[in-house]
Amino acid sequence: MSVLEYISRRNPAVERTLLRLLPPGLEPRELAEASRHLIKAGGKRLRPCLTLACCEVVGGEAERALETAAAVELLHTFSLIHDDIMDHSSFRRGVKTVHRIWGEPMAILAGDALFAKVFEALSLNASRIGLEKERTAELFRVMSRASFELSRGQALDLLFSRRLSLREEEYFQMVSLKTGALMWASATSGALLGGGTPSQVRRLGEYGKNLGIAFQIQDDILGLVGEKEELGKPVGSDLTEGKHTLVVSLALRTLRGKERRRLLRTLGNPSAPQEEVEGVIALLRERGILERTRGRALEFSGRARRCLRGFRRSEALSFLEELTDFVIERRM
Amino acid sequence: MSVLEYISRRNPAVERTLLRLLPPGLEPRELAEASRHLIKAGGKRLRPCLTLACCEVVGGEAERALETAAAVELLHTFSLIHDDIMDHSSFRRGVKTVHRIWGEPMAILAGDALFAKVFEALSLNASRIGLEKERTAELFRVMSRASFELSRGQALDLLFSRRLSLREEEYFQMVSLKTGALMWASATSGALLGGGTPSQVRRLGEYGKNLGIAFQIQDDILGLVGEKEELGKPVGSDLTEGKHTLVVSLALRTLRGKERRRLLRTLGNPSAPQEEVEGVIALLRERGILERTRGRALEFSGRARRCLRGFRRSEALSFLEELTDFVIERRM
């Protein structure tokens, strides 16, 4: 089954669950609207589908993991809202960011409110299916560990952004916390709810983590060469915002002399002219830096795929397999 | 047993648990330090002791609820850090606020990191004592509900701060979310862990909520008439920051003409001269407004006390009883 087919089949139930967790009648209205804003703006819903598929692949019905699937999307959205404040980003998913519409204080609270709902959702899930107490505690442990690692990853991102260069291992430490941890939790929680054995739970978690890193590397590439319409933000904005992406990390290690100076003129310079930004992107392409970055994405995607060995063939398994290609081939 | 005796007897174990949840070796160091900053700065630790005492009063050993007691302190501290960002406060517990030292982005993350630890702590607690699955799910539900209400209360506070006046029922709606919810959760979770019956859990929750409201009203009074050294912030700062306290709500409904104009000149005016601020405070005293505010605090303290009827006499019960006086008599 193709990735988009699986997602479109599972999505209606995920959306209904998200809506049930954040009903429109919540008071105060501003908080409710600010919390729902980015969720309503769409997004691929990869993480919830990852949870559902991991539940299925170990033999559970996808429906068993519904609230937890919604929870990982809430956790993801919470971190996007706070991240956008910290990065002073103005657009996300093709709409204005939460703090640009409601101001920073309300955006902080909107994130906090979604974060609070994460654990309510887990608790509803565990009660509904009568999950045994050891798995219930483990489910909460997994999600709180991922939440904590998420904030560690964001903190590293923030600290690194004050530095000019970043070693590759620092980059991987950051993204395995910032992106890997939540994908790890999405997969692990699904496998736990589906009744997976400890080894299955561990392997699917590993799958999620590697998938997340591959996903993030592709995000870094798209942040430079993606189309504005598809990304919902200007081309090359990662460069002018001075984000430490793998591309930049490799470029700073590779480029010398005039080329290096060209890169440095646009890096973290929001007022760099668009043609100069595009010139730098062309340079990164010519010097093989985008290709090398893509090589690393392929490597992590391959690692993720290998974690799937030994699972019984099913539609959910095909989805997980195809997802390893999808995350590094996507254009948005 | 007096309130301070109970606290000082229980506190060492609470502090050890907090430290175990936030070990100094956490990376990145800046995040670890920013998260621990306000916790290390002290605080009364009323909420964790409330959890421990409610566990005891229904027949459990206090030790059963240790990680959850730490969790409510983490949740409280998380909300203080985000609150300080939103209010642009510079001091708290006699030290600089987190965002003043590490900047707003790191302060947002420090709050998020503590929030994440809340649910890890609950999960550790449930596993350690082998809590049955229904109570485990309930424990998580209680804490996530309180977290959500906390952000609703903060959002109301934020929205109300843009208005000149506030009706008394709006004030009580706000504080029962902002302060009542967490005290409710502190008490409820302790009673759940101690093995309380549904009726005991409900009554202790009700106790916590009323205690929290009384506590907040006293906070409002201290925000005006407290001593700088004890509060860790300037006298009358609640007035010049334009906070909607019960005192201000009553004052705006009562004062007329010249007196009202005097109040309005200082309200939300950070550059109001200190002698004018003190003059307004004297006026609030003369016109009986502080006395009427105190009357409301007494009312909620009395409601809390009545929720304790029927519990077996114990040191924990005396603590809870005396706490109802303590919260409205405290000077800091």
Judge whether residue B231 has pLDDT over 60.
no
Which of the four pLDDT bands, split at 50, 70 and 90, describes residue A161? confident
pLDDT of residue A178: 94
Local confidence band at A230 (pLDDT 50, 70, 90 cut-offs): low
Name the 3-class secondary structure at A103.
Answer: coil
B125 → chain A, closest CA residue = A137
Q: What burial class does residue B161 get, using C-beta atoms within 10 Å of its C-beta: 0-12 exposed, 13-18 middle, 19+ buried?
A: middle
Q: Do the chains contact at B31 and A155, CB–CB below 8 Å?
A: yes
H or E stretch covering A28: none
Please report which helix (H) or strand (E) contains residue A44, including its range: none
Q: A89 vs A77, which has greater pLDDT? A: A77
Provide the pLDDT for residue A239: 87
Q: Tell me what pLDDT residue B145 has.
A: 96
Q: Is residue A231 over pLDDT 70?
A: no
Minimal Cα–Cα distance from B198 to chain A, Å? Answer: 17
**Bridge pairing between strands A91-92 and B95-96:** unpaired
**pLDDT, tens digit, 9 for 90 and up, residues A118-143:** 999 999 999 999 999 889 989 999 99
Mutation target among B29, B83, B88, B152 for the A interface, most CBs of A within 10 A? B152
Burial letters B119-158, b for 16+ CB under 10 A, else e: bbbbbbbbbebebebebbbbbbbbbbbbbbbbbbbbbbbb
**In degrees to the nearest 10, what's the CA dihedral of A216, A219, A224, A230?**
-170
Q: Which of B85, B128, B136 to mutate to test the interface with A (most CBs of A within 10 A)?
A: B136
Q: Measured between CB atoms, which of B126, B151, B156 is closest to A116? A: B151
What span, in angstroms and rounded, lies between the C-alpha atoms of A236 and A222? 9
**Mean of all residue pLDDT scores within chain B:** 93
What are the tens digits of pLDDT across the range A175-195?
999 999 999 999 999 999 999
B239 burial level (CB within 10 Å; 0-12, 13-18, 19+): buried
Q: How many angstroms separate the CA of residue A184 from the nearest CA in chain B?
A: 16
For residues A264 and A266, give the distance between their C-alpha atoms in angstroms, rounded to a whole number.
5
pLDDT digits (tens, 9 = 90+) for A34-49: 999 999 998 889 999 9
- What percentage of chain B carries pLDDT values higher than 90? 81
State the Cα–Cα distance between residues A193 and A181, nearest whole angstrom: 18
Report the length, in residues, of chain A.
Answer: 332
The pLDDT value given to residue A228: 62
**Beta carbons of B117 and A144 less than 8 Å apart:** yes
Q: In whole angstroms, what is the distance from residue A26 CA to residue A201 CA?
A: 36
Chain B residues lying within 8 Å of A112, measured CB to CB: 82, 111, 115, 147, 150-151, 154
Which residues of B fall within a CB distance of 8 Å from A152? Answer: 26-28, 31, 113
Mutate to test the interface with B, among A152, A170, A176 (most CBs of B within 10 A): A152
| 3-class SS of residue A92 | strand
Residues in B touching A132 (Cβ below 8 Å): 133
- pLDDT the model gives residue B87: 87
Q: Write the class of the CATH domain A3-329.
A: mainly alpha
- Give chain B positions within 8 Å (CB) of A111: 112
Cβ-contact A119, B147 below 8 angstroms: yes
Instruction: Check: CB of residue A77 under 8 Å from CB of residue A38.
Output: yes
Count interface pairs A-B at CB distance under 8 A.
Answer: 160
Q: Residue B102, SS3? A: helix
CA–CA separation, A265 vs A257, rounded Å?
A: 13
Q: For B79-95, how does the pLDDT look when each residue is reduced to its tens digit (9 = 90+)?
A: 999 999 998 889 999 89
Owner of token pair 């001593």: B227
Single-letter residue type at A241:
E
**B272: DSSP letter:** S
Nearest-CA distance B257 → chain A (Å): 33
Domain ranges of chain A: 3-329
Residue B243 has pLDDT above 90, yes or no: no
Peptide bond into B28 cis (omega under 30): yes
A14-36: average pLDDT: 94
| Residues B304-330, mean pLDDT to the nearest whole number | 96
Residue of A nearest to B75 (CA): A116
Cα of A151 to nearest chain B Cα, Å: 6
Rounded to an integer, what is the distance from CA B217 to the centroid of its chain? Answer: 11
* Overall average pLDDT of the A226-248 stretch: 76
CB-CB neighbors (< 8 A) of A89 in chain B: none
Q: Assess contact for B293 and B319: CB atoms under 8 A.
A: no
Q: Which of B278, B274, B276, B224 is nearest to B250 (CA)?
A: B224
Q: What is the rounded CA–CA span in Å between residue B56 and residue B72?
A: 17
What does B222-262 look like in DSSP terms, one character per residue?
A: HHHHS-HHHHTS-TTHHHHTT---HHHHHHHHH--HHHHHH
Return the pLDDT at A258.
95
Contact in structure between B210 and B301 (CB atoms under 8 Å) = yes
Q: Helical H runs in chain B?
A: 3-21, 29-40, 46-57, 66-87, 98-102, 104-129, 133-160, 168-175, 181-193, 198-225, 228-231, 237-240, 246-254, 257-266, 274-286, 289-306, 315-329
The per-residue pLDDT for A142 is 97
Q: pLDDT at position B325, please? A: 96
A131: chain B residues, CB-CB within 8 Å: 133
What pLDDT shows up at residue B194? 98
Question: Where does the pLDDT of residue B25 fall: very low under 50, low under 70, confident under 90, or very high at 90 and above?
Answer: confident
Does the distance separating the beta carbons of B118 and A148 come in below 8 Å?
Answer: no
Residues of chain B neighbouring A36 (CB-CB closer than 8 A): none
Structure tokens at A95: 């709409």
Residue B163 — pLDDT band, cuts 50, 70, 90? confident
A120/B159 Cβ within 8 A? no
Q: Looking at residues A303-327, what average pLDDT do you find?
A: 97
- Per-range mean pLDDT, top range of A26-30, A253-257, B301-305: B301-305
Nearest-neighbour CA in chain B from A115: distance (Å): 8
Please tell me whether residue A96 adopts helix, strand or coil conformation.
strand
Rg (CA), chain A: 20
Q: Is A98:A34 a contact under the CB 8 Å cutoff?
A: yes
Put simply, the answer to whether B141 touches A120 (Cβ < 8 Å) is yes
Tell me whether residues A117 and B27 touch, CB distance under 8 A. Answer: no
- Closest-CA residue of B relative to A118 is B144
B154: chain A residues, CB-CB within 8 Å = 109, 112
Question: What's the whole-model pTM score?
Answer: 0.93
Evaluate whether A316 touches A3 at the Cβ level (below 8 Å).
Answer: no
CA A189 vs CA A55, A56, B300: distances in Å? 8, 12, 43
Rounded to 10°, the helix B46-57/B198-225 angle is 160
In this prediction, residue A218 has a pLDDT band, given cuts at 50, 70 and 90, of: very high
CA distance B144 to chain A (A): 5
pLDDT at A237: 80
A132, A136, A144: residue with CB nearest B116:
A144
| Structure ipTM | 0.92
Is residue B72 within 8 Å of B124, Cβ to Cβ? no
Residue of A301, A111, A317 lying closest to A217 (CA atoms)? A301
Mean pLDDT of the A258-270 span: 92
- Give, in degrees to the nearest 5, the angle at Cα A40 between A39 and A45: 50
Choose from B26, B148, B163, B169 for mutation: most chain A CBs within 10 A.
B148
Structure tokens at A212: 């997340």
CA distances from B54 to A258, B44, B212 (A): 69, 17, 15
Question: What is the distance between the alpha carbons of residues B328 and B298, in angstroms, rounded to a whole number?
Answer: 7
pLDDT at B24: 80
* Residues B6, B8: Cα–Cα separation, whole Å: 6
Query: B111: which chain A residues are within 8 Å (Cβ-Cβ)?
Result: 112
Taking contacts as CB-CB distances below 8 angstroms, the residues of chain B near A127 are 134, 137, 141
Mean pLDDT for the stretch of residues B103-113: 98
Asked if B51 and B187 touch (Cβ cutoff 8 Å), the reply is yes
Mean pLDDT of A153-173: 90
Which positions in chain B touch A82 (Cβ < 8 Å)?
108-109, 112
Structure letter (DSSP) for residue B63: G
The pLDDT score that the predictor gives to residue A251 is 93
- Span B181-194, average pLDDT: 98
Q: Which two tokens stand for residue A280?
A: 């730098």
Whether pLDDT at B202 is above 60: yes
CB B110, CB B37: distance < 8 Å:
yes
**Structure-token pair, residue B197:** 């019956």
Length of chain B: 332
- B12: three-class secondary structure by DSSP: helix
Contact by Cβ (8 Å): B243, B161: yes
Q: Phi/psi of residue B92, each to 5°?
A: -160, 135
